[in-house]
Amino acid sequence: MAKAKYRPEFIVQRDDEKCIRCQVCVRMCSNDVHAYYPDTVISDSFKCVGCHFCEDLCPTGAIAIRRSEPHIKENYHWSGTDVYNIIKQADTGGVLLTGMGCDRPYKDYFGHIVLNASQVTNPSIDPLREPMELRTFIGGKPEVVIIGKSSEPELRTQIPPQLELETPIMFSAMSYGSISLNACKSLAKAACDFGTCWNTGEGGLHRDLSPYAHRAIVQVASGRFGVNKEYLDAGCAVEIKIGQGAKPGIGGHLPGEKVPEEVSRTRMIPEGTDALSPAPHHDIYSIEDLKQLIFALKEATRYEKPVGVKIAAVHNVAPIASGIVRAGADFVVIDGIRGGTGAAPTLIRNNVGIPIELAIAVVDSRLREEGIRNRASIIAAGGFRSSADVVKAIALGADAVYIGTAALIALGCHLCQRCYTGKCNWGIATQDPYLTKRLNPEIGARRAYNLLRAWSLEIKEMLGGMGINAIESLRGNREQLRGVGLNEVELELLGIKHAGEAW
């Protein structure tokens, strides 16, 4: 039987007149796309994943990577991807894998929401000349605050532990193992320099990252990798990972070949064994059980730091979030369908979960209706592309957001979605020392810091335009939002009016 050929997804075009045979591309490509034969360089497009590393490195601009047209006859129902996936599965009998977040054309709600600005009747604020407050506190807030009446101001209410952030943007959970140590270092340092938090993911805390641990949210997942007393003590908050937006209902699985010595030391498992973090925590079958783990962690950390819970945004997200808050979580992380990952079954990533915009709105509404919104902060995650997305998320009801993919793009990621191969040319999603050294953590930290700075400046501009001088006044302030091209159900769920409607 004739075997179907895979199509090259990309075409590597080389301008032979510009090529100076320096062989940088040959040496650098981890997918072995380029090869040098005396006086000529040839490229095998079949191997190209479209990460554009060679293109960016080529000193003469001789290389161009172009998306190729599928050489099968596509139709409205059968895309080239569908067909080639079936061929691949017939070849291997395996589950399709992918990396990064869902790329399917589900409605982009952020793209259908517009912001307000002040005109005439209320003044806008110029953030360049007037104070603008982005400081955000993550943690439970008391119902009432009692201030003592003596001459010195005195807070009589005991405030639950809080994370103090200089901007409502944090780096989401990406474990050492899923990304390189240099990538972890870049984000950790940027978070510390800027005054926000990063997240260890479920892979433990590498010893080289301990200088940044005071701004680390340490994750506890079902496999408990790297979790011990020191780990819990080191971080500024603890996050119980129930699920993630890229693969709701699916556990983590770091294959044995990605557990070399350093990863093994950090996760505290032998080299080369599979690191299995199944979707269910087998001590959590109910909200009551979740409460038990939340308080086990609070007891272990002597109630000194916030303990939160991360879930994927699914159909029942609002009642689940309510249960989590009632179980005593200090923050709830909701990860939408666009949330990224180092590896997930393609079909799960593309078909399970709900958009984060809707999830934020329904969770915030539900907690308000029940009168428990103050008990926990909401952190939204899953595909934030710009400061505008962040502003809209906060106006819908989030306290802060987690960015993952955007942060990795700042470090060089070109969204080729092949994180699961461990061959990341940009030195991010790999443990190969030849590749990881391409990412200089000092430069990475500066770039991630720059991203935080740029987005924070933009948020201030947008706030000022609305006549708001503190991010606190934007939180859940849905009057600042209007829908464009959304139907009644969507507007009702988002809790916003359609553009054109006045206050």
Pair 14, 43: CB distance under 8 Å: yes
Q: Which of 112, 141, 253, 446 binds other proteins (CB under 8 A)?
A: 253
Q: Cβ of residue 346: shortest distance to other proteins, in angstroms? A: 9
Whole-number CA gyration radius for the chain: 24
**255 belongs to the binding site for other proteins (CB under 8 A):** yes
**32 belongs to the binding site for other proteins (CB under 8 A):** no
Rounded to 10 deg, the angle between the 387-396 and 356-369 helix axes is 30
Q: Cβ of residue 123: shortest distance to other proteins, in angstroms? A: 50
Q: Cβ of residue 495: shortest distance to other proteins, in angstroms? A: 38
**Cα gap 18→24, rounded to integer Å:** 14
Collapse the DSSP code of 223 into the 3-class scheme (helix H, G, I; strand E, B; otherwise coil) and give the result.
coil
Q: Cβ of residue 250: shortest distance to other proteins, in angstroms? A: 12
Cβ-based neighbours of 479, under 8 Å, separated by 6 or more = 116, 497, 503
**295 belongs to the binding site for other proteins (CB under 8 A):** yes
Could you tell me if residue 421 is left (phi over 0), alpha (psi between -120 and 50 degrees) or otherwise beta?
A: alpha
Secondary structure (DSSP) of 322-371: HHHHHTT-SEEEEE-TT---SSEEHHHHHHSS--HHHHHHHHHHHHHHTT
Stretch that binds other proteins, among 106-114, 166-174, 267-275, 390-398 (CB under 8 A): 267-275
**81 belongs to the binding site for other proteins (CB under 8 A):** no
Stretch that binds other proteins, among 266-274, 309-317, 402-410, 468-476 (CB under 8 A): 266-274
Question: Looking at beta carbons only, is 350 or 387 nearer to other proteins?
Answer: 350
Q: Which of 256, 260, 319, 328 binds other proteins (CB under 8 A)?
A: 256
| 180 token code pair | 């390189």
Q: What is the DSSP letter of 17?
A: T
Q: Which of 105, 270, 371, 500 binds other proteins (CB under 8 A)?
A: 270
**Mask of contacts with other proteins, 417-446, x by CB under 8 A?**
---xx-------------------------
Q: Is the dihedral of CA 475, 378, 402, 360 positive or negative?
A: negative
Q: Which of 292, 440, 469, 477 binds other proteins (CB under 8 A)?
A: 292
Q: Is the dihedral of CA 176, 181, 187, 192 positive or negative?
A: positive
**94 belongs to the binding site for other proteins (CB under 8 A):** yes
Give, for 307, the enclosing helix (H) or strand (E).
strand 307-312
Contacts to other proteins from residues 298-327, by CB under 8 A: 299-302
Question: Looking at beta carbons only, is 15 or 257 nearer to other proteins?
Answer: 257
**Mask of contacts with other proteins, 367-406, x by CB under 8 A?**
----------------------------------------
Pair 102, 337: CB distance under 8 Å: yes
Question: Looking at beta carbons only, is 176 or 194 nearer to other proteins?
Answer: 176
Question: Looking at beta carbons only, is 139 or 345 nearer to other proteins?
Answer: 345
Cβ-based neighbours of 86, under 8 Å, separated by 6 or more = none
Distance (Å) of CA 97 to CA 22, 69, 103, 355? 35, 22, 14, 21
Q: Which of 278, 315, 437, 501 binds other proteins (CB under 8 A)?
A: 278
Q: Cβ of residue 472: shortest distance to other proteins, in angstroms? A: 31
Question: Looking at beta carbons only, is 17 or 299 nearer to other proteins?
Answer: 299
Distance (Å) of CA 318 to CA 109, 144, 294, 465? 18, 25, 19, 31
Stretch that binds other proteins, among 208-216, 296-304, 432-440, 470-478 (CB under 8 A): 296-304
Question: Looking at beta carbons only, is 264 or 341 nearer to other proteins?
Answer: 264
Q: Cβ of residue 44: shortest distance to other proteins, in angstroms? A: 17
**Cα gap 425→422, rounded to integer Å:** 9
Cβ-based neighbours of 337, under 8 Å, separated by 6 or more = 101, 102, 106, 245, 313, 352, 353, 354, 355, 356, 382, 383
**Mask of contacts with other proteins, 216-245, x by CB under 8 A?**
------xxx--xxx--x-------------
**73 belongs to the binding site for other proteins (CB under 8 A):** no
Question: Looking at beta carbons only, is 130 or 283 nearer to other proteins?
Answer: 283
- How do beta strands 198-199 and 216-220 pair? parallel
Q: Which of 91, 126, 369, 501 binds other proteins (CB under 8 A)?
A: 91
**261 belongs to the binding site for other proteins (CB under 8 A):** no
**Cα gap 84→91, rounded to integer Å:** 10
Collapse the DSSP code of 257 into the 3-class scheme (helix H, G, I; strand E, B; otherwise coil) and give the result.
helix
**Residue 54's closest CA among 91, 10, 94?**
10
Which residues of this chain interact with other proteins, rule CB under 8 A? 88-89, 91-97, 222-224, 227-229, 232, 253, 255-256, 264, 268-270, 272-274, 276, 278, 282-283, 292-293, 295-297, 299-302, 420-421
